Amino acid sequence: MFQVLLADDEPSVTDALRRSINWAACGLEVAAVVTSGEEALACINERPIHIVITDIRMANTDGLSLCQQISRMNRGIQTIIISGFAEFSYAQKALS
Q: What is the pLDDT of residues 15-48, one digit of tens each?
A: 999 999 999 999 999 999 999 999 999 999 999 9
Q: Using one digit for the tens of pLDDT, what is the confidence trace for 69-88?
A: 999 999 999 999 888 766 66
pTM of the full predicted structure?
Answer: 0.89
Instruction: Spell out the domain ranges in the chain.
Output: 2-95
Distance from C-alpha of 18 to C-alpha of 90, rounded to nearest angstrom: 26
CATH topology for 2-95 is Rossmann fold (3.40.50)
From residue 15, alpha-carbon distances to 1, 2, 54, 67, 91 in Å are 20, 19, 13, 22, 23
From residue 82, alpha-carbon distances to 1, 12, 61 in Å are 22, 14, 15
